Amino acid sequence: GENVEQHPSTLSVQEGDSAVIKCTYSDSASNYFPWYKQELGKRPQLIIDIRSNVGEKKDQRIAVTLNKTAKHFSLHITETQPEDSAVYFCAATAGGFKTIFGAGTRLFVKA
Amino acid sequence: DTAVSQTPKYLVTQMGNDKSIKCEQNLGHDTMYWYKQDSKKFLKIMFSYNNKELIINETVPNRFSPKSPDKAHLNLHINSLELGDSAVYFCASSPKTDLTPQHFGDGTRLSIL
């Protein structure tokens, strides 16, 4: 069935460094790839998304890249800050019917 | 003026009981969802409704029955609760099924004693 693999499961970086989270999807019909941030005890919130007709998208310190051929997409956070500490989920939607989430990456930003 | 609101926020109950969780969105979205997030934080879709019609039922036990009286509401009723049902349940909505982000509620933490 459809699957989204996300790596790493835990990531610890020093404040100011960059963080990269990678995801791979299995369904080649996937055409929408959102990223959600979930702080402890809170709800997941969209931070950035990308559609299959775009290879890269940037919003301030956050960027997402998509390689459709390899079925990979990645989240890049530059100049990390302690408030970036959270669980990050990638997701892939195919045909508009179902969104499959990755297992999450717990990001720790050390001050 | 919460966009997606769920009640209750916490639910503690005994095994075997029946309980309901309510969800309402005031965003005018057509599509609503229920997700289960287990202790390992894995988010798994359970149901999806579009304009009150069920479009996804992800092999969820029959003890779980969603109901959508109108497109702004999607409630979840659970019969004969089991220990394994303990989780955080998130309701979400999106403008449509395709190419749009989902807006999540604050979650309902269900604990089965």
B59: Cβ–Cβ under 8 A, 6 or more apart, which residues?
A: none
CA distance A32 to chain B (A): 5
The rounded distance, in Å, linking the Cα atoms of A84 and B43 is 20
Give the closest of B45, B99, B102 to A96, CB-based. Answer: B99
The rounded distance, in Å, linking the Cα atoms of A45 and A43 is 6
Q: Write the CA distances from A100 to A27, A31, A35, integer angstroms.
A: 10, 12, 11
Q: What is the pLDDT of residue A97?
A: 66
Q: Which residues of B touch A101 (CB under 8 A)?
A: 42-45
Q: Write the CA distances from B58 to A47, B18, B44, B50, integer angstroms.
A: 26, 21, 9, 15
Mean pLDDT of A3-23: 97
pLDDT at B97 over 90: no
Largest CA distance in chain A: 42
Give the closest of A46, A51, A89 to B99, CB-based. Answer: A51
The rounded mean pLDDT for chain A is 94
The rounded distance, in Å, linking the Cα atoms of A88 and A21 is 8
Helix (H, G, I), strand (E, B) or coil at B102: coil
The rounded distance, in Å, linking the Cα atoms of A20 and A11 is 9
Q: What is the pLDDT of residue B79?
A: 96
**For A84, phi and psi rounded to 5 degrees?**
-80, -10
**Are A47 and A62 spatial neighbours (Cβ–Cβ below 8 Å)?**
yes
Helix (H, G, I), strand (E, B) or coil at A111: coil
Q: What is the pLDDT of residue A1?
A: 66
pLDDT at A9 over 70: yes
Q: How many CB atoms are closer than 10 A to CB B111?
A: 13
Q: Give the residue from chain B lying closest to A86, CA to CA.
A: B41
pLDDT at A96 over 90: no
pLDDT at A64 over 90: yes
Mean pLDDT of B75-88: 96
Find out whether the peptide bond into B8 is cis, omega within 30 degrees of 0: yes
The rounded distance, in Å, linking the Cα atoms of B31 and A55 is 27
Q: How many CB atoms are closer than 10 A to CB A82?
A: 10
pLDDT at B88 over 70: yes
Contact criterion met (CB < 8 Å) for B99 and A31: yes
The rounded distance, in Å, linking the Cα atoms of A14 and A104 is 20
Give the closest of B40, B58, B101 to A34, CB-based. Answer: B101
